Amino acid sequence: MQRIGVFICWCGSNIAATVDVERVADAVKKDQGVVYSATYQYMCSENGQQLIKNAIKEHSLTGIVVGSCSPRMHEATFRKTAEAAGLNSYMVEIANIREHCSWIHKDREEATEKAIILVRTAIAKVNLNAPLSAGESPVIKRALVIGGGIAGIQAALDIAEAGFEVDIVEKNATIGGRMAQIDKTFPTLDCSACILTPKMVDCAQNEKIDILSYSEVEEVKGFVGNFSVKIKRKARFVDEKKCTGCKLCMEKCPSKKGLDEFNMKLNKRPAIYIPFAQAIPNVAVIDPEQCIKLKTGKCGLCQKVCGAGAIDYTQKDEYIERGYGAIVVATGFKPIELNAFNEFGYSENQDVITSLELERIMNAAGPTNGVLLRPSDGEHPKVITFIQCVGSRDTSGCGKPYCSKICCMYTAKHAMLIREKYPDTEVHVFYIDVRTPGKNYDEFFRRAVEQYGVDYIKGMVGKVYNENGKLMVQGSNLIDNEQVLIESDLVVLAAAIEPEPSVRKIATLLTASIDTNNFLTESHAKLRPVESPTAGVYLAGVCQGPKDIPETVSQASACAAKVIGLLVKDKLKTNPCVASANETMCNGCSQCASVCPYGAITYVEKELRVDGKTELRRIASVNPAVCQGCGACTVTCPSGAMDLKGFSSKQIMSEVEEICKR
Amino acid sequence: MTVKEQCENVKRMSGTDVRKCMKCGKCSGRCPAFHEMDIKPHQFVSLLAQGRIEELLKSEAIWSCLSCMACVERCPRAVAPAAVIEAVRDTVIRAQGANGMKAEDIPPMVDELIPQQLLMSAYRKYNK
Amino acid sequence: MQEITTKEGFVPNIVAFCCNWCSYAGADLAGSSRLSYPANVKIIRVPCSCRVNPMFVLKAFQRGADGVIICGCHPGDCHYVTGNYYTRRRMAMLFSFLDYLGIERDRTRLEWVSAAEGAKFSAVMNDFVAKVTALGENKKLSDLRVKEGE
C-alpha cells in the first residue's frame, strides 16, 4: 500500500483563479493511498519544494502527485525535490491542471471538477508506480569511423585531437575518397589534392588514428558505449609494414589490362598498383582478377623486383575484433549508373562522359595529364555541352527524386575552368534551375556567365545522337520557346549522386534506419541532424543526404563533437523507463524485435521452472542501454509479456478507468 | 461546359497531373514535330495548368502531334504531354460530332512506305 | 467557453491519448495560447502513440467513455522514428473492428498534432466532442457490472 502525498499548486492565480484548489485538495484526501494533501501558491518555488520535502519525511510518503503545470515544464524539478527527500524520483506523477485545465476553461465549477479528475488519475497511476533506477553502462574510449573520405578523415582528426583513439575503416586501398578524385573545388577553385592530402598525411601520422585500409566492417554487436565490431582486412598480397611505395613493381608488372578505378576507368593500370601518387597508406595492392601469378601460378615478377620483400601471394583475408564507444558512418556516394538514360547516348558514345570523368580528364595527374582531350580520338573538343539534372529530380522511376545539390556548382566550375584554360572553346549548359544557395555560390555561378561567357540555356536535352562523328545535342530553349540543335564535340552529364551501395549492409549491421533513397536517417531533421536514431551512431557526409565539401566537413566536425561528448563520460546513465519482458509469459515469437526501431531486443535461451519442471525457453531480452522506451513492442507482443516501465499497461489502464468513473 | 469543367475534363481524360511538371522542357527538347507545332508540348502542360484551355482547343498543334510518345517516354516527372494533347484533340473532335474514321477506311490507305505508327496514330486521332 | 450539450444535457466523456513529444506538447500549447476546448476531454500522456494498446481503447469504451481519440506526431516526425506508423495500422484495424461492433466511426479518431499545432489540437477536440455529442451516450460496450457497482 502506497502512502501518497498530493500537492496542488495555485501557480499564483494561473490555476487558482479558475480552479478551486482547496476543494481539489480536499476532494482527494480520502482517495486510495492518499495520506496527505496540501496547496501552495508556487509549488515550484524554494518554499514549495521545501513543503514537499517536509511532507515526504514527516508522513513517510512513498509517492507524490503534484497538481501543477505541464510535466514538460516541472516534472524534472519535482523529481529532484523527491530525490532530495529520499524518495525515488520515479514515484512522482504530475497532474497537468494548468495547460490542460485552468488555462482553457473559464467556468470555475467545470474546471474544478476536471482538476479533481486529473489529480485522481495521477493518484491512480502513482498507486501502481514502482521505484526505478537509472542503470549504468561503461564507455569504451575508442571511436570507429566507417569510410575514409573527407567526412571520415575530418571526424577522425577531430576526435583524435581531443585525445581519443580512432580507427578508420576504408574499403578501398587508400583513404581520400571522392574528394581525392576531384580536380578543383568550388567556390574558391583551390586544388582538391592540395587541401586534402595534408589531412590524409595528418591521419597517417597521428598516433591516435589507426587507418585500416582495404578493410570492411563485417559484424557489429553491442550498443552505445560498448560496441564490438568485427573487421575484415582483405588480402592485399602486399605486406603493409614492408612496402615502401617505390612503385618498381608497377613498372615491371606484365599485366596492364586492369581498368584504373581511380581515373573512372578511363585508362589502364597494372595488376599491382598504388591507386594514386599521394595514397595513404602508400602501399601497393594486387588485383587478384588481373594478377597472372595469382591466376596461373606463373610470373612472380613483382616479388623478384621488390627490394623490401613485401610481396606475399599467400596472404589471406584476416579478421580482427575491436571494441568502440561510438561509431561514425561516413560511407559517401557514387554517381548513378546511366544505362537507363539512353537518350543521352552515354553507353554508345565515348565522348559522352560524366562530370566525375571530366574531373579526372582535367586533373594534372589524370589519364590525359590534365590536357582536355576527348576520349574517342584524343582531340581537343571545340564545342562542349553540359547537361544538368541527369537523373536528379526524376520521379519517373529511372533516376532519383531528390536534387543532388552539388551539380549546379560543379558544372559552373567545369564550364569556367574550360573557358579559362581554352578560351577558344564554346561551352553550353542546359539547366532546369540553377540552384546556388551558399556563401559566395551565386556569385561564382554568375562569374561563369558574366566573366567567362558560358552559354546557359534554360531547358532540358531531349536527345543526343551521333552524326558523322559529331554529337548532335537536341534540346529546349524555353526562354525563346525554341528547339535548339548544338553540334558538339564533347557532352558532359551531371549525373545524380546516390549513397555508396555498401551503406545498406552497414545500416543493417548497425540497425540504423535508412530511407527509400538509401540515405541514412538522422534522429531529427532539424535538431539532431548528425545523430542516427540508433544511440552511439553518428552520420557524416553524403551517406545522410546530398551535400558538398564544406557541409560535409561541418557535419563531420559536428559528429566528432558528439562523439567526444560521449567518450569523455566514464559511464552512461540509461533511461529507466524501458521495456522488459515477463520471462514466464514470453514465448519467444520474435514479433517485438521486428518492430523495435533500435534493435534493442535480442533473444536468450533461459532455464525456467514451470509447473515444477525445468524448461529451456527462448525469451526476449531488452537491452536497457539501447531501448528508448517508445513502447511499440508492448503492443505488438501477443502474449502480453512485454511491458514498459513508468508507463505500464496496468498504470495506463488505471488512468483510463479513473477518467471513465466520472 | 465552363472553362473550368473543360480543364478538369481534359485532365481526367489525359490521366496526367500537370502540377508534377517541373518545367524542364525535355518534352519539347525531344519532340520530332516541334517545328510544326504552334503550341509546343511543354506549353500544353503549362497552359492547361493555368486553365487556358481555349487557346489549346484552337491550336493547330493538336493535329501536328505525331502521338509518338517520345515526350511521355522521357519525362523525368512522369507527366504525359502527349496524353494532354490527345485529350484536347478528343475534346475538339467530340464537339464536332460524327466524323470518325472507321476500321474499313484504312486498307485502301495502306502504302508499304507508311510506317505502322503513322497508321496507328492516324487511327487514334480520327476514330473518336 | 461553452459546454457542448444536447437538449437532454448530455455531456460526453472523452479519453485522449497524447504522445509525449508532439501531441501532448501541442495540447500544452493550446493551453498556453488559451485556446479552449470542452472540459470533458481528459488527456493521458504516453511516450509514443504506438504505446496505445487497442486494449486501452476497449477498456475506455467498456468503462463508459463516449469517445476515444489518439494523437501522435505527424508521419515522418515520430520521435521514435516509426512508432506512429504502427499506430496508424493498428488503429485502422481497431476502428473498423469497433465499427463492426456498433461503436460508430465518429467515436474513434486518430489525429496527427505537432508540438506547434496548439490551434489544431483545440480545433480537433472541439470537432470531435461535437461529433460524439451528436451521437449521444455510448452504451454498446459498457460493462453493466461496473455501472451497478457505482
How many Å separate Cα C56 from the centre of its chain? 11
| Residue C4, pLDDT above cutoff 60 | no
Give ipTM to 2 decimals: 0.93
Residue B112 has a pLDDT of 76
CA angle A228, A230, A231 (to 5 degrees): 135
List the helix and strand counts (H, then E) for chain C.
Answer: 5, 4
Whether residues A659 and C46 touch (CB distance < 8 A) is answered with no
Residues of B with CB under 8 A from a CB of A: 20, 22-31, 34-35, 40, 42-43, 70, 74-78
Q: Which chains touch B (3 or more CB pairs under 8 A)?
A: A
Determine the pLDDT at residue A518: 95
Q: Which three cell numbers stand for residue A188?
A: 574558391
How far is residue C107's CA from residue C132's CA, in Å, rounded to a whole number? 6
Whole-number pLDDT of residue C7: 45
- Chains B/C: 3 or more C-beta pairs closer than 8 A? no
pLDDT, residue A626, reads 86
Which CATH fold topology does A579-645 show? Alpha-Beta Plaits (3.30.70)
For residue C63, being part of any structural domain is answered with: yes
Q: Indicate whether C40 belongs to any domain.
A: yes
Tell me, yes or no, whether C2 lies in a domain. no
Cα separation of C108 and C52, whole Å?
A: 13
The CATH superfamily label for domain B3-98 reads Alpha-helical ferredoxin (1.10.1060.10)
The CATH-assigned architecture of domain A142-234+317-332+500-567 is 3-Layer(bba) Sandwich (3.50)
Structural fold of domain A333-498? FAD/NAD(P)-binding domain (3.50.50)
Q: Which of A8, A5, A36, A42 is nearest to A22 (CA)?
A: A8
Q: Mean pLDDT, to the nearest integer, of B75-99?
A: 89
pLDDT digits over C127-147, tens only?
999 999 999 998 888 776 665
Whether C55 and A653 lie within 8 Å, measured CB to CB: yes
Strands A326-329 and A142-146: parallel
Q: How confident is the model at residue C2 (pLDDT cuts 50, 70, 90)?
A: very low
Q: Quote the CA–CA distance of B38 and B14 in Å, as a whole number.
A: 20
Taking a C-beta distance cutoff of 8 angstroms, is the pair A610, A581 a contact? Answer: no
Query: Average pLDDT, stretch C89-102?
Result: 95
> Which residues on chain A are in Cβ contact (under 8 Å) with C84?
none
Q: Do A113 and C39 count as a contact with CB atoms less than 8 A apart?
A: yes
Which amino acid, A159? I
pLDDT lower than 70: segments of chain A: 662
Interface of C with A in 58-87 (CB under 8 A): 59-60, 63-65, 79-83, 86
Residues C52, C55, C56, C58, CA torsion sign: positive
Chain C nearest-CA residue for A73 = C28
Find the CB nearest A483 among B29, B74, B75: B29
State how far the Cα of A286 lies from the Cα of A239, in Å rounded to an integer. 11
Give the mean pLDDT of chain C: 89
CATH number of the domain to which C105 belongs: 3.40.50
Number of domains in chain C: 1
In a domain, C138, yes or no: yes
Domain A4-127 sits in CATH at 3.40.50
Report how many Cβ contacts below 8 Å link chain A to chain B: 72
| Chain segment C7-48, per-residue pLDDT in tens | 467 899 999 999 999 999 999 999 999 999 999 999 999 999
For A299-317, the pLDDT digits (tens) are: 999 999 999 999 999 999 9
Crossing angle of the two packed helices B116-126 and B81-96, in degrees rounded to 10:
50
Which one of B25, B75, B77 has the shortest CB-CB distance to A459? B25
C79 to A630: CB separation less than 8 angstroms, yes or no: yes
CB contact under 8 A, A632 and C31: no
CATH 3.40.50 residue spans of chain A: 4-127
**Hey, what's the cell of C96?**
473498423
Nearest CA in chain C to A107: C1
Contact between B24 and A389 using a beta-carbon 8 Å cutoff: yes
- Measured CA to CA, the distance from residue A132 to residue A644 in angstroms comes to 12
Block residue for cell numbers 595488376: A271
Nearest CB neighbour to A462, from listed B29, B35, B43: B29
Tell me the residue range of the domain where C76 lies. Answer: 14-149
Q: What whole-number distance in Å separates Cα of residue B116 and Cα of residue B101?
A: 17
**CA A363 – CA A366 distance, rounded (Å):** 5
A292 at the C interface (CB within 8 A)?
A: no
Report the Cα–Cα distance between both ends of chain A, in Å, rounded.
24
Residue ranges, CATH 3.30.70.3270, chain A: 579-645
- How far is B19 from B51, CA to CA, in rounded Å? 12
Q: DSSP assignment, residue C74?
A: P
